[in-house]
């Protein structure tokens, strides 16, 4: 093996795949007084107690460095729910946990993240692009306000990541600093050991 190859860690850094779980909590909550005639609420009302509607909480994906198994993720979700800051008055609480993918990037609210394993910015951006291509997302490199809509046939919800110009990261370590060039390595990301691309 030549030295070039031995020292080249890019190849193994760009092929990491991690287990991703979707997690959600659903329960029936009281419909707000001013929404009793609102169709959105009526469509989700309880079969017997029609003043209550089905609401989803903490509906997001979580990526793990190693597969902890469904049972662990479920217990973790139950703990987060039990320790939430503002308790919610509701009943018929259901916890749902499902392994949905093995991938390098995990979708959250208009952002994707991967684990920080010492990648350079260039490696991060290349791996994100590769990831989107694996998901059959056609990336638009120019400014096109309609491309997200036109390209929405892959079955994967990219939440705007299909537009290259949307990719952003924090300017400084401050999590509230200006969003400029990707990726994001702010203090919040550092604490979680992740690198984020907002879009
Ligand atoms: Zn960040």
- Per-residue pLDDT tens digits for 61-109: 999 999 999 999 999 999 999 998 887 889 999 999 999 999 999 999 9
What predicted TM-score, i.e. pTM, was given to this entire model?
0.82
Same domain flag for 90 and 168: no
Q: How many distinct structural domains can be found in the chain?
A: 2
| Residue 11 belongs to some domain of the structure | no
Average pLDDT over residues 26-30: 95
| Residue 4 belongs to some domain of the structure | no
- Give tens-digit pLDDT for 132-179: 999 988 888 877 666 655 555 678 889 999 999 999 999 999 999 999
Same domain flag for 96 and 116: no
Same domain flag for 191 and 168: yes
In the reported structure, the alpha carbon of residue 90 is separated from the centroid of ligand 1 by a whole-number distance in angstroms of 33
Same domain flag for 56 and 85: yes
In the reported structure, the alpha carbon of residue 91 is separated from the centroid of ligand 1 by a whole-number distance in angstroms of 36
In the reported structure, the alpha carbon of residue 134 is separated from the centroid of ligand 1 by a whole-number distance in angstroms of 24
| Residue 3 belongs to some domain of the structure | no
In the reported structure, the alpha carbon of residue 198 is separated from the centroid of ligand 1 by a whole-number distance in angstroms of 8
Same domain flag for 72 and 128: no
Same domain flag for 175 and 94: no
End of a domain among 103, 125, 151? 103
In the reported structure, the alpha carbon of residue 109 is separated from the centroid of ligand 1 by a whole-number distance in angstroms of 13
Long-range pairs for 158-162: beta carbons < 8 A, 24 or more residues apart: 158/107, 158/132, 158/199, 159/107, 159/109, 159/110, 159/111, 159/199, 160/110, 160/199, 161/112, 161/128, 161/132, 161/137, 161/197, 161/199, 162/132, 162/137, 162/138
CA atoms within 13 A on the CB side of 40: 5
Task: Please tell me the predicted confidence (pLDDT) of residue 85.
Answer: 84
In the reported structure, the alpha carbon of residue 175 is separated from the centroid of ligand 1 by a whole-number distance in angstroms of 6
End of a domain among 60, 84, 103? 103
Domain that holds residue 147: 106-198
In the reported structure, the alpha carbon of residue 19 is separated from the centroid of ligand 1 by a whole-number distance in angstroms of 21
Task: Please tell me the predicted confidence (pLDDT) of residue 6.
Answer: 41
Q: Using the predicted structure, report yes or no on whether residue 12 has a pLDDT greater than 70.
A: no
């Amino acid at each position: 093996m030549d030295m070039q190859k031995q020292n080249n860690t890019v190849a193994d850094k760009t092929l990491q795949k991690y287990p991703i779980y979707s997690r959600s909590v659903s329960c029936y909550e009281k419909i707000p007084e001013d929404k009793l005639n609102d169709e959105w609420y009526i469509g989700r009302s309880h079969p017997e107690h029609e003043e209550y509607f089905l609401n989803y909480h903490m509906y997001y994906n979580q990526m793990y460095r190693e597969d902890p198994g469904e049972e662990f993720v479920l217990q973790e979700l139950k703990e987060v729910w039990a320790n939430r800051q503002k308790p919610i008055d509701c009943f018929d609480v259901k916890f749902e946990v499902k392994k949905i993918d093995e991938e390098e990037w995990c979708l959250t609210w208009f952002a994707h993240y991967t684990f920080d394993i010492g990648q350079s910015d260039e490696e991060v951006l290349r791996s994100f692009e590769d990831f989107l291509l694996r998901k059959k997302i056609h990336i638009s490199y120019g400014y096109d306000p309609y491309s997200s809509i036109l390209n929405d046939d892959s079955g994967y919800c990219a939440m705007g990541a299909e537009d290259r110009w949307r990719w952003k990261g924090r300017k400084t370590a401050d999590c509230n600093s200006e969003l400029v060039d990707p990726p994001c390595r702010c203090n919040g990301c550092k604490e979680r050991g992740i690198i984020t691309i907002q879009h």
